[in-house]
Amino acid sequence: MSGERVREQERRWTLVLGGGLLLVAALSLGPVVFPSPRVPAVTRLSLPAPASLASGPAPDYPTTTSVTPLLSGRLNLNTATAEQLEALPKVGPALAQRLMAARPYRALADLDRVKGVGPATLKVLAPLVTF
């Protein structure tokens, strides 16, 4: 072979080897230079035990000769009217309709599944309702 051809072939081999080294370096350093994105962790909170939420007796509201309260003692969510449900704290007309549509209730977990009832509402309603 002529000297020019030998040098050309050496250049090609140098390029091939250099490219191979770059490829190996990129594959081994890639995770260090470009780490994979971090996936956020999902934390699920469970409801507290029903006994801890429903502590203490339900309040009794006084009656007068002209006013009879809509609520007296615990309200049964399975038989309550829309007006009685609206008399509960944090319950408006829309939530009262959703509560009536989601019947029957057997536990607080059933009540928690209703849209608009969150942990704060559950904590307020727990001592006032029964199933």
Per-residue confidence (pLDDT) for residue 55, from 0 to 100 = 57
**For residue 128, what pLDDT is reported?**
87
Give the CATH number of domain 50-130: 1.10.150.320
Nearest Cα residue to 88 out of 52, 58, 57: 58
**What secondary structure, in 3-state letters, does 65-96 show?**
CCCCCCCCCCEECCCCCHHHHHCCCCCCHHHH
Tokens of 119: 């942990």
Q: pTM of this prediction?
A: 0.48
Spans of the chain below 70 pLDDT: 1, 15-36, 47-72
The pLDDT, as a whole number, for residue 18 is 65
If you search the block for the tokens 């029957």, which residue do you land on? 104
Note the pLDDT of residue 61: 63
Q: Is the peptide bond before 104 cis (omega within 30 degrees of 0)?
A: yes
Q: What's 50's DSSP letter?
A: H
Q: Where are the chain's structural domains? A: 1-35, 50-130
- What pLDDT was estimated at residue 56? 63
Q: So what's the pLDDT on residue 57?
A: 67
